[in-house]
Structure 1
Amino acid sequence: MGTRKTIAITGASAGIGAEIARVCAARGYDLILIARREAPLLALSAELEAGHNIRAHVVTADLGAPDAARILANAVAARGLQVDGLVNNAGFSKTTGFTTTDPAAQQEMIRVMLSVPVELARLWLPAMKQRGWGRIVNVASMAGFLQATGGDTLYGPIKSFMIKFSQGLWVESQGSGVHVSVVCPGYTYTEFHDVNGSREAVSAAYPKWMWLQADRVARDAWDAVEADKPRCIPGKRYQFLSVVSKLLPDSVGLKTAASHARKLKRV
């Protein structure tokens, strides 16, 4: 690989982000670990540096703050770090319903999961293309393929956007040495459902065979971007579901989505 490359990962403190960091470290990449919580980042950095002889830089950032992408990029540049790859993984979900969720929280969700990934790609992609090497992984979701779910009204549309956005970047980056892939996992064991308070509901509603392990999602995602595959859907069951979802009439899909929301007590 020549000079060691550096991958920036948002939402690296836990879950899929932390597992992608472990995959990249094992493959010899240096890292920029980004999240709001410093303590888990420092622990992960120490683990990866000791285990893989790489550098894992810690940068704390609140990606929900206004102008977060520019502030983060400036902080990275101030430390003299070059970003050769980007994993847009940071995210969360509000499940209290569209009209009962604080508008400020909704704006934060849009910034963290939509605006900041677009802005970071715009800030760092040109230099990757100029150097002739880059990797971008956007973490979306199976929700991006399915009909909208009531009660968690913003999440699916944001993930649909990320799928289309990633596809456009992949097309524009062909021949440049920059690989772009979007990973679309289904239900995955992470802190995600603990943070938004839905752990008990989703665990009761869906059987164990529907759940993925975060380390498997991370391996599949990084394998896909190294191979320059524009999309990665971990697990054959979810690959099958993505095909079926395209064939369902909207009337059936929306009834299914409504049943899903009722299971999770979101409507």
Structure 2
Amino acid sequence: MPPARPLTLITGASAGIGAAFARDLAARGHDLVLTARRTDRLEALAEELRTQHRCAVTVLTADLAEPRAVVTLCDELVARGLAVDWLINNAGYGVPGTFEAVDWPVHEAFFRVLMTAPTELAWRLLPGMRQRGYGRIINVASLAGHVPGSAGHTLYAASKAYLIKFSQSLALENRHLGVQVCALCPGFTWSEFHDVTGTRALMNQLPGFMWQTAEEVVREGYAAVERGEAVHVTGRVNRFIKALMKLLPDRLTLWLSARESKRYRALENLP
């Protein structure tokens, strides 16, 4: 049985899908631990949630690109006596440019935030969930993890494909112990993501039906993990795209990916 007030840790909680998860789960009776790099935004969101939902909200500022960030974060949870029931691994971003054009330290930081940190957080928090017989882990992946890689943002789709496979294995290993794991795979979502990567003008060329709000993504994610889905692609359009990519020959899907890369990636010298 879930606790009366589950405690949820959300990474990348200062904006977008992370902030939407915080608002949704606070309304459902969760207490929260919010973490991201921007303390001012976290504090503002925490005050909003405390006022509106009378929930306990703890702010722990962290940069998950730092090698010991997860250890420090988990040590702080232990020091405060906080046992996490829900883990939302949401922190993420994209790195524009071709692979060789980006300095290695930038790639290394990307790996830590999008792959190492969510994996380590699950490893450190999962034993407590298993011991208590209840837990939920949502790894925010992407439709990009189901379709061919594109030129530019070279590691993004690869990192999301990893989260999908990791979530599947984790779900199989833990579902009999009351811990359910889901890779949540949204497509284009209204958030700051494309502003940060400098592709907002390009993304605005996409038709409106391709987009979902962060709130829509979160509602689907909550329902999916509660149903025990190991992988959930949000939105009918995105599920159609995923199905279509499976049916088409690889050569054709790669050609389509190359064409879209030229249209929607902020790159100067794509072949």
Mapped to 2, the partners of 1:103 and 1:208 lie a distance apart of 36
- 2:261 is matched with 261
State the secondary structure of the residue aligned to 2:240: helix
In structure 1, the residue matched to 2:10 is 9
Structure 1 unaligned blocks of 5 or more:
none
C-alpha distance in 2 between matches for 1:246 and 1:2: 40
Q: Any idea what SS the aligned residue of 1:136 has?
A: strand
Structure 1 range deviating more: 233-242 or 7-16: 233-242
Q: Which residue is equivalent to 1:107?
A: 108
Contact 1:23 1:222 in 2 (8 A): no
The Cα of 1:67 is off from its aligned counterpart by: 2.2
Equivalenced residues, count: 266
Q: Deviations over 1:172-220 (max 9, x none)?
A: 012111111111000000000001111111212x111101111000111
TM superposition score normalised by structure 1: 0.97
| Equivalent-residue separation in structure 1 for 2:261 and 2:97 (angstroms) | 11
| Distance in 2 separating the partners of 1:130 and 1:176 | 8
- Give the equivalent residue in structure 1 for 2:242: 242
- AA of the residue aligned to 1:14: A
Cα gap change, 1:156 to 1:53, in 2 (>3 Å) = same
| Percent of aligned positions that are identical | 43
Equivalent runs, 1:51-62 vs 2, <5 Å: 51-62=52-63
Aligned with 1:126: secondary structure?
helix
The Cα shift of 1:2 comes to 4.2
Q: Unaligned 5+ residue runs, structure 2?
A: none
Contact 1:35–1:61 (Cα < 8 Å) also in 2: yes
Output aligned runs, 1:177-196, within 5 Å. Answer: 177-196=178-197
Matching residue of 1:175? 176
1:165: Cα distance to partner? 0.4
Contact 2:12 2:91 in 1 (8 A): yes
- Measured after TM superposition, the shift of residue 3 of structure 1 is 3.5
Per-residue CA distance 1:12-35 (angstroms, 9 max, x = gap):
000000001111101101000010
User: 2:139·2:182 contact (CA, 8 Å) conserved in 1?
Assistant: yes
- Report whether the alignment pairs 1:47 with 2:14: no
1:168 and 1:72 map into 2 onto residues whose CA distance is 25
CA drift at 1:66? 1.2
| 1:134 pairs with 2:135 | yes
User: Alpha carbons of 1:2 and 1:202: their partners in 2 closer, same or farther (altered >3 Å)?
Assistant: closer
